[in-house]
Structures are given as structure tokens and as C-alpha cells.
Structure 1
Amino acid sequence: MRIGIVSDSHGNTDVFEDMLAVPGAAEAELWLHAGDFAPDADVLEEMSGKRVARVLGNCDFFVDGVHDETVVEVAGHRIFLTHGHLFNVRFDTAMLAAAARETGADIAVYGHTHIALEEYGDVTVLNPGSIARPRDERRGSFMLVELNAGESPLVNLIRI
């Protein structure tokens, strides 16, 4: 199963058009939005026609039914989704990975730093960077991930 991961759109939903135009993006069966701004996920859901799981970021206000973290089960994997600001991710991902382990997740997804990251271990830690305001390059980024039960995720970081 292919999923898309995006974060830190900060109200710039126009970037979703370019993102969804990337070969393979339209085939994502589910999208994860790791916060800042959680309401942007509604726009992505409408544009993609697919469900978008979302969490609140440090720049988000209260959104009914949206929380700081959630667990998504898909294709034999448990994904711990959070923005990351509550897990000290600016310094390292140890707290985040520990929280994911506590929920039984084998994948942790976060945003917040605006810097793309992939770490592999007993918990795969993924940050798609920022689609709208990257700090690691001039172009925004997102991820397409292939998930199959019993297999490690195949991650493709894409710059637009």
C-alpha cells in the first residue's frame, strides 16, 4: 500500500497541487499530515479524494477531534503520528521513538523541524520536511512510502 506523508504546510495549500502532480502521488491510498496547519489536511483530503490522518502542531489552535498524536494502522504497520514539538525532536528522536514503542508502533512520523529525516531501527522514524517552508533546501518536500506487512517501509523523499 502506498501512503503519502506531508507536514508543515502552514496554510499554503497551493503546494498540494504540485505535490499531487508528482508521478505516484495520486496513487497514495492514505495521506498523513503531521501538523502546522491541521486544517490544511481538509484541503488535501478534498484535492486528493483520499483520507488524511492529521495531528495538531505547535502553530495549530484547537481543532475538534484532532489531537497532538494518533496511531494509524495500515498494511500491517502501526504508525505513531505527531508533530514532534512535544518530543524534543529539535535535538534528537529518542523520546519520539520511545513514545512510538509504547504504543506498539513500528513507524514514527513527525514534522516540526522542517528538515527531512529517515532513521531506521526497531522504530522507523520519518520526517517529510516541510512542503511549504523547508529549512534544509530551497524546495519543499514530502514522502511517498510503500508499506507491506512484515517488510520495512520503502521511503521516497520527493522535492517539489
Structure 2
Amino acid sequence: MKIIVVSDSHGIRSKLDKILEMHRDADLFLHCGDICLDSYEYPQFITVTGNNDYYDYPSEIILNLPHHKLIMFHSHMFGYFNRDKQMVKKAKSKGCDIVCYGHTHIADYRVIDGVHVLNPGSLQMSRDGRDTSYAIMHVDDTSGEIEVEFIFG
């Protein structure tokens, strides 16, 4: 399974269009918030609301994938300190073992206490000195093994 994960595009359609064009073979397109566009514009993306979104998106979404359960949110509702631990706790309380989140504009992937935690970075402005980014999550259909690749630029 190929899952495209983006966040923080802040209304920039050109990058979303390019991603959709480049990854026509993807099984899922996820947007972790701050899309800053109405839902009818990019129905291909499953989208949660961010702190800059003023449209009707849910604050979190849970998806049942083969071998995994994924929770997605923007993460602005969590405190700055120990944000990762707070997100893992929330995921576990919902029976999820994958977290996809946005808000920080920093690409990051770690496994914390058995939970895969992925921030694809930002399509608008990186906050860690690297270029803008998004992520491709590959979930092996047989084993459920997860691999994450970041695309910068």
C-alpha cells in the first residue's frame, strides 16, 4: 500500500496538483491540516483541520489499514513540551499504532513505544532549515512492515 502524506500546504494548489500527478498509483492521499482550501477543491485527500483552516474538516480521523490502525490530526491541540508522548498516548487510547500529524513544519519519522509517528513536514515553509517536504509511507501488504520516504523540494 502506498500512502502519500502531506501537511501545511497553506493554500498552495500547485504543489498539491504536482503530488497528485506524480503519484497516480497511490492508494491513499492524506493531508494533516492547514490545507487552507475548501474540501471540494481536493477531494482526493483525506484531510483534517489545522489551526489555519476555516472549512469543515474533522479534527481527527482514524483509518483502518491492513495490519495497522492510523490516527491523523494536526497536533496544534497538544502542548509544545512532550508533544510526541502526548500523541502516542492519544493514539494508544484509540487503539492506533500509526500517527500522522502536521503543524510543526518539521519532517520527522520515529517509532515511539511501538507507535509509528510521522510528520511529513510542510509544503509551504520548512522550519528546520531543510527544503519543503512530504512523505510516502509504504505498508507491505503481506507483512505490514512500514517504510517511510521523505521527498524534499
Q: Give the TM-score category using the shorter length.
A: 0.7 to 0.9
User: Cα distance, 1:41 vs. partner?
Assistant: 5.8
Among 69, 75, 95, which residue is 1:78 paired with? 69
> What residue is the counterpart of 1:58 in the other structure?
51
> What residue is the counterpart of 1:100 in the other structure?
91
Question: TM-score when scaled to structure 1?
Answer: 0.84
* Alpha-carbon distance between aligned partners in 2 of 1:141 and 1:82, rounded to the nearest angstrom: 18
User: Cα distance, 1:81 vs. partner?
Assistant: 0.2
Runs of 5+ unmatched residues, structure 2: none
Q: Which 10-residue stretch deviates more, 91-100 or 109-118? A: 91-100
> What residue is the counterpart of 2:118 in the other structure?
126
In structure 1, give the amino acid aligned to 2:24. Answer: A
Q: Identify if the C-alpha distance between structure 1 residues 82 and 89 changes in structure 2 by more than 3 Å, giving closer, same or farther.
A: farther
Question: TM-score when scaled to structure 2?
Answer: 0.87
Structure richer in strand, relative to its length: 2
In structure 1, give the amino acid aligned to 2:61. Answer: T
Alignment root-mean-square deviation, CA: 2.0
Runs of 5+ unmatched residues, structure 1: 46-50
User: Cα distance, 1:155 vs. partner?
Assistant: 0.3
Number of equivalent positions:
151
Query: Is the contact between residue 107 and residue 133 of structure 2 (CA under 8 Å) also seen in structure 1?
Result: yes
* Alpha-carbon distance between aligned partners in 2 of 1:38 and 1:29, rounded to the nearest angstrom: 23
**Which stretches of structure 1, 4 residues or longer, exceed 6 Å deviation after superposition?**
none
